[in-house]
Each structure stands twice: as C-alpha cells, then as structure tokens.
Amino acid sequence: MRKNNLRFAKEWVMKAQSDLETAEILYREKGPTDSLCFHCQQAAEKMLKAFLVFNKGKYSKIHDLINLLNICKKIDESFKNLENEASFLNRFYVETRYPPEIINYTREECEEALGLAQKLTQFILNKISQ
C-alpha cells in the first residue's frame, strides 16, 4: 500500500515544488509580493498533504496550515517543530487572494516566507524519503 501512497505523494510534491519554484522566480525578479507569498503558502499546504497521502493514503480537503499540521503531528510528533513556519505562512492563503486590497509585503517578509516554505519542504521530503 505504501508504494501507491508514495506515487500519489510524489505527485503532490511535484505540485508543491512548482509553487516553490514560482515563488523563487518572483523573488528573484522582484515580482508581485502577494503572489510570491501565496505560492509559498501553497507549497507548504501541498507538502503537508503529500505527507498525509504518504502515510494515510488520503488528505484532508482543508487549506489551513495549522489544521493540516495538527493532523500531521498525530502521525509524527516532530511536526511540532514546524508550528512557527505554518503560522507565518498560513495568513498568505486568504490575505493574498481576494480584493479589495493588493497587499505589498516587504522584501524581508518575502524572504522569510520563501525560507520557511523551503525549510518545511525539505523537512517533509526527508520524512517521505525515509
């Protein structure tokens, strides 16, 4: 069963890595900061779902990183180490998606979002490849 789970999890990882690469390009090219941060949140969400798929064969159809992280912690307590990352990135799902305002995040906020998304991604890749 884990073999099928791994295949499905890899599909989630590929989508997450695409979001992360998009965020990296936007950062490098000084693109729209709201889109950059949104893609960081999306990368984190998809990686958490990849972990759930790998371990349970399914994922929760929610977007809140804190809720997803809490589900992951039930499988592996070490996910508690990602609470700050999930909390920081979580706000970019709703804040960046809907008008009326376009939020311009600082270069430092974008750098932090990107770094946290990269850290979370690597953490979960290490868990899936064990």
- Asked if the 2-128 domain carries CATH number 2.40.110.10, the reply is no
Average pLDDT, the chain: 92
Whole-angstrom Cα distance, residue 76 to residue 48? Answer: 12
| Residue 9's pLDDT band (cuts 50, 70, 90) | very high
Note the helical H segments in 57-106.
65-75, 83-90, 92-95
Summarize pLDDT for 44-62 with one digit per residue, the tens. Answer: 999 999 999 999 988 878 9
Omega into 100 within 30° of 0, i.e. cis?
yes
pTM higher than the cut 0.85: yes
Whole-angstrom Cα distance, residue 33 to residue 70? Answer: 28
User: Which residue ranges make up each domain of the chain?
Assistant: 2-128
